[in-house]
Amino acid sequence: KIVLSLFDLSGEWSKPWEEAGYTVFRFDIQDADTYYDSETEEEKVVGDINNFSVQFFNDLFGDFDGNDIYAILAACPCTDFASSGARHFAVKDANGQTVESVELVHQTLRTIEYFKPQVWAIENPVGRIEKLTGLTPWRLSFNPNQFGDPYTKRTLLWGRFNADLPIAPVEPTEGSKMHRLYGGKSQATKNARSVTPEGFAYAFFQANNAVDHPVMAIANKYDRLDRELFQRAVDAGLTFNE
């Protein structure tokens, strides 16, 4: 099964899926890989999701040989959405930076609509992403200390996924460490702030992988049919690949 992980420079969110045997493709504009776009006759960055199109996935990935895209994970850049940077919103709105960030979310949603994965999630800190992009109401709110990482950073998830994650709560002894330790405007500090908490990454995987949740995996693929029918079929021995 295939997982597409967008804006995933560190690889942390998709790491548990890769370790479990999923084929993971990561995309981030900071990656160095390029390709030649014959249509525009330009060199382009593979990880820049603005370049995604039917032709892109056909030419570079053979549309994944017709295999299902099981999950799409997207940690969309939060710089222009997070409430922590609200004092800069007016400038970003005026210079077009906010519009570019909104387009990244819309391109993510187009990719999800094209592949129709069984599981998809968009992650962002508390802010204005939902208001500006038209996302449906968020489905999960968490702090890293709920999953074993001893700090706070309230984060929201939108999408279609099992939100009943296994928790391992610890005291947030490091407080809100992201801006305390990684404040500043450099790309390096922005990257440090955006790394997916390890505990959450594994908890999300445990709640959403196809092997442990066969009814969800099958029902999400055929979502116009009665989920109860799939439960009875799985109880009778049906597997995902059948």
Q: What is the mean pLDDT of the chain?
A: 91
User: Mean per-residue pLDDT for 56-60?
Assistant: 94
pLDDT of residue 103: 96
Q: Going by DSSP bridges, is the β-strand pair 69-74/2-6 parallel, antiparallel, or unpaired?
A: parallel
Has residue 51 got a pLDDT over 90?
A: yes
Residue with tokens 């592949």: 115
H/E stretch holding 34 = strand 34-37
Has residue 145 got a pLDDT over 60?
A: yes
pTM of the complete model beyond 0.75 = yes
pLDDT of residue 237: 84
% pLDDT > 90, the chain? 71
Give the integer Cα–Cα distance in Å for 87 and 93: 11
User: Mean per-residue pLDDT for 54-74?
Assistant: 94
What phi and psi values does residue 215 have, to the nearest 5 degrees?
-65, -45
User: Mean per-residue pLDDT for 43-67?
Assistant: 94
pLDDT in tens, 157-186: 999 999 999 999 999 999 887 655 555 566
Split at pLDDT 50, 70, 90, the class of 47 is very high
Alpha helices, DSSP H only, in the chain?
A: 15-19, 54-61, 89-95, 97-115, 129-133, 177-181, 187-194, 198-208, 214-221, 227-235
pLDDT of residue 224: 84
Q: When comparing pLDDT for 175 and 2, which is higher? A: 2
pLDDT in tens, 13-35: 999 999 999 999 999 999 989 99
CA separation, residue 68 to residues 71, 73, 117 (Å): 9, 15, 7
pLDDT in tens, 86-118: 888 999 989 999 999 999 999 999 999 999 999
Structure tokens, 211? 């092997």
Q: Would you say 191 and 202 are in contact if contact means Cβ atoms under 8 Å apart? A: no
pLDDT of residue 239: 74
Q: Would you say 15 and 38 are in contact if contact means Cβ atoms under 8 Å apart? A: no
Has residue 138 got a pLDDT over 60?
A: yes
HSE (CB half, 13 Å, CA atoms) of 8?
A: 22
